[in-house]
Amino acid sequence: MLLDPFSIAPLGSLKNRVAMSSMTRGFAGPNHLATPEMAAYYGRRAEDDVALILTEGTIVHLTGDGYNNVPHIETAVQAKSWAPVVQRVRSAGTLLFCQLWHCGRISHSDYTGGVPPVSSTDRPAEGINRQNGKPFGTPRALDPNEMTTIHRQFVDAAQNALSVGFDGVELHFGHGYLIDEFLDGSVNDRTDRYGGSVANRCRFALELLETVIGSVGADKVMVRLSPSREMEGIHDWPDMGAMLDYLVPAMSGLGLAMLDISCARSDYALTSGRVIRMVRPHWKGFLMGGASLSQEQAESEIRDGHLDMVTWGRFLLANPDFVGRLRAGAPLEEFSRDMLETLR
């Protein structure tokens, strides 16, 4: 079942149910361009028959960057640098989505062109940013009249991605970055209409989603959420149940048809697997998730109707021939940190 072709709206025909989840690699070229090495890296996974690939997080606007050497898709030149990646992946019959990313306060003015990072709050994230060895920058809480500026950045990035042939975009609403900083009641300390109640905390995400769907169409848009994830231990959104009860139907009401539930390198059963069981009864659309699941676990999540496709990150990083190995019943290479040093 996992490895059999299938068809699902709005994606259409897929080679199988294996998806590569978004993984930041930090190998973009000067000016944040995608490179030929990146085309070869994604191409190898596509040629090995991964059915759907999500690119690494790709920054929508310089002021939303927070990492070393990550790709951007703010300008036409940056978008065009992705064309060889798209070409290589799509010619293998694999679908390719660009993950659109705004880091919010998980950043520093070293990365944003010198301006303070923006967030829902003016409290900095705790800890040291491993990217530059400095404490995270003190963010500036977005003013309500600036929200449309951020919407525009996502719309422009989505249009750029689609203009070079991506099959769709994934809006990164998870992992403690900008949109999650509004959703997560432990971060969002606002007292205006973007903070406080469940509906207010969801407002920024929903307005953004409505604008992007209005611009590029719902059949091109996936959302990644991480209501329960690793963050020095397992962290759930405060009032997670009430949040999901409100947010999921509201996103569906805006026409959203594709959802990716993630847990940022945590234990699936304790985090996203739990969330998926809360979401699924209320969600009619396409749903994917996963985190280092075994083939048997993946098959059973699909068979029991929890997931339509299963995402893998680190196993796909460690095994460019992941699908081939699953087909052959061959053992998988374990991920190790030294593998991050090259684009194998």
Q: Which one, 138 or 292, has the nearer CB to ligand FMN?
A: 292
Residue 172 as a binder of ligand FMN (CB under 6 A): the answer is yes
177 is a catalytic site residue = yes
Q: Which one, 252 or 297, has the nearer CB to ligand FMN?
A: 297
Q: Could you tell me the two tokens for 80?
A: 């065009």
Name the active-site residue from 177, 194, 246, 268.
Answer: 177
Q: Which one, 11 or 298, has the nearer CB to ligand FMN?
A: 298
What is the Cα–Cα distance from 10 to 195, expressed in whole angstroms?
Answer: 33
Neighbours of 65 (CB within 10 A): 24
- Restricting to residues 198-217, which ones interact with ligand FMN according to CB under 6 A? none
DSSP 3-state assignment of 168?
Answer: strand
Q: Residues for the chain: how many in total?
A: 344
DSSP 3-state assignment of 13?
Answer: strand
- Restricting to residues 252-311, which ones interact with ligand FMN according to CB under 6 A? 262, 264-265, 291-292
Q: Which one, 137 or 273, has the nearer CB to ligand FMN?
A: 273
Q: How far is the CB of 340 from ligand FMN (least distance, A)?
A: 6
Ramachandran category for residue 152: left, alpha or beta (phi over 0 → left; psi -120 to 50 → alpha): alpha
**Amino acid type, 299:** E
Q: In DSSP terms, which residues pair with 6 in a beta bridge? A: 14
What is the Cα–Cα distance from 238 to 184, expressed in whole angstroms?
Answer: 7
Q: How far is the CB of 179 from ligand FMN (least distance, A)?
A: 12
Residue 313 as a binder of ligand FMN (CB under 6 A): the answer is yes
Task: Please state whether beta strands 286-289 and 258-261 pair in parallel, antiparallel, or not at all (unpaired).
Answer: parallel
Single out the residue of 97, 182, 204, 312 in contact with ligand FMN (rule: CB under 6 A).
312
The residues annotated as belonging to the active site are 177
- Binding site residues, ligand FMN, CB under 6 A: 21-24, 56-57, 99, 172, 175, 224, 262, 264-265, 291-292, 312-315, 340
